[in-house]
Amino acid sequence: MRMRDLGVGFGYLMKGQRWVAGHGRWFGFGLLPGLVTLVLYTAALVGLVLGADDVTAWATPFADDWSSPWLGIFRGTLTALLFAFGLFVAVITFTAVTLLVGQPFYENLSEQVDRSEGGDVPHSGLPLWRELWISARDSLRIVLRVVFYGVLLFACGFIPVVGQTVVPVLGFCVSGFFLAEELTAVALQRRGVELKERLALLRGRRMRTLGFGVPLTLAFLVPFVAVFLMPGAVAGATLMARDLVPDPAAGPDPTADPDPARPGPYTFRKTDQAD
Helical axes 24-59 vs 2-21, angle rounded to 10°: 120
pLDDT for the residue 214: 93
Residue of higher predicted confidence among 207 and 93: 207
Highest mean pLDDT among 86-90, 117-121, 169-173: 169-173
Q: Give yes or no for residue 173 having a pLDDT over 70.
A: yes
Q: Does some domain include residue 131?
A: yes
Q: Does some domain include residue 72?
A: yes
Domain hosting 182: range is 2-61+68-244
Indicate yes or no: pTM above 0.75.
no
Highest mean pLDDT among 42-46, 77-81, 183-187: 183-187
Q: Decide: helix, strand or coil at residue 268.
A: strand
Residue of higher predicted confidence among 185 and 3: 185
Q: Give yes or no for residue 30 having a pLDDT over 80.
A: yes
pLDDT tens digits for 113-138?
998 887 677 776 777 777 778 878 88
Cβ neighbours around 230 below 10 Å, total: 31
Q: Does some domain include residue 265?
A: no
Name which of 141, 102, 127 is nearest 234 in CA terms: 102
Q: Give yes or no for residue 212 having a pLDDT over 80.
A: yes
pLDDT tier at 1 (50, 70, 90 boundaries)? low
Q: Decide: helix, strand or coil at residue 122.
A: strand
Q: Give yes or no for residue 254 having a pLDDT over 70.
A: no
Greatest Cα pair distance in the chain: 73
What is d(CA 112, CA 118) in angstroms, rounded to the nearest whole number? Answer: 10
Cβ neighbours around 169 below 10 Å, total: 10
Q: Does some domain include residue 257?
A: no
pLDDT for the residue 92: 67
**How far is residue 53 from each of residues 45, 66, 150, 164, measured CA to CA in Å?**
14, 16, 20, 21
Residue of higher predicted confidence among 90 and 214: 214
pLDDT for the residue 246: 67
pLDDT for the residue 269: 39
pLDDT tens digits for 142-158?
878 888 888 888 788 87
Highest mean pLDDT among 11-20, 80-89, 136-145: 11-20
Q: Does some domain include residue 84?
A: yes
pLDDT tens digits for 35-48?
888 888 888 888 88
**How far is residue 217 from each of residues 105, 134, 176, measured CA to CA in Å?**
22, 24, 6
Q: Does some domain include residue 47?
A: yes
Mean of all residue pLDDT scores within the chain: 80
Cβ(263)–Cβ(193) below 8 Å: yes
Q: What is the dihedral of CA 81, 85, 87, 93, to 10 degrees?
A: 180
Q: Count the domains in the chain.
A: 1
Cis upstream peptide for 215 (omega within 30°): no
Q: Give yes or no for residue 274 having a pLDDT over 50.
A: no
Q: Does some domain include residue 50?
A: yes
Residue of higher predicted confidence among 132 and 244: 244
Q: Does some domain include residue 79?
A: yes
pLDDT for the residue 48: 83
Cβ(219)–Cβ(237) below 8 Å: no
pLDDT for the residue 5: 83
What percent of the chain has pLDDT above 70? 87
What is d(CA 16, CA 110) in angstroms, rounded to the nearest whole number? Answer: 10
